[in-house]
Amino acid sequence: MAKRRFTIDQAQAAYLLGVDSRSILNWSKRDIDPLPVAKRTRRGQPNQYDPAELVQWYVRNELSKLDIGDGEVLSLEAERAKLTRLQARKAELDLAEREGRLVDPDEAFEVVSKIILHSRTRLLALPTKAAPTVHGCQSIAQTAEEIRKHVYEALEELSTTRPEDMLGIND
């Protein structure tokens, strides 16, 4: 024998939730997260509602109005899943760090800054280094070619110098 569920009508549902009957009717017609109706009746007769489902829906609806965090209703299951994902991510990051696949942003900034400073110093030395050879040039084309040679020489030096050498790091 099927167990018969206890239900209440619209007026009783309104009384249970402390609202008017019109709110119950409007909530049950909503497109998104409508009030759960246990039994829909013919037009002109009140629908039937399961009190336990009503209270659960009402609490969930009221909690969503509080705008806690991202507006989601907190559930133990969802929070456990979130915790599990975060723990897995932390384990991945710990492993990557132990394997040397992570770079500390402050250290990276310091290394890149030193490399840029070394490059800047080498480029600023170009005029002094090129001046003696450019001084004896007879034409603009010859001067440009001499300067170009010095620029390419500096670029070649910078591209073949190991970062460890630029930073003064010993193996």
Domain range enclosing 42: 10-65
* 87-122 residue pLDDT tens: 999 999 999 988 988 888 888 888 888 888 888 988
Residue 78 banded pLDDT, cuts 50, 70, 90: confident
Report the pLDDT value the prediction gives residue 112, as an integer from 0 to 100.
Answer: 87
DSSP string covering the chain, please?
Answer: -PPPPP-B-HHHHHHHHTS-HHHHHHHHT-SSSPPP-SB---TTS--BB-HHHHHHHHHHHHHHHT--TTSPPP-HHHHHHHHHHHHHHHHHHHHHHHTT----HHHHHHHHHHHHHHHHHHHHTHHHHHHHHHHT-SSHHHHHHHHHHHHHHHHHHHHHS-HHHHHT---
Report the pLDDT value the prediction gives residue 171, as an integer from 0 to 100.
Answer: 54
Residue 74 banded pLDDT, cuts 50, 70, 90: low
User: Do 133 and 96 fall within a single domain?
Assistant: no
User: Do 17 and 39 fall within a single domain?
Assistant: yes
Farthest CA pair distance, the chain: 113
Domain total of the chain: 3
User: Do 25 and 78 fall within a single domain?
Assistant: no
pTM for this predicted structure? 0.42
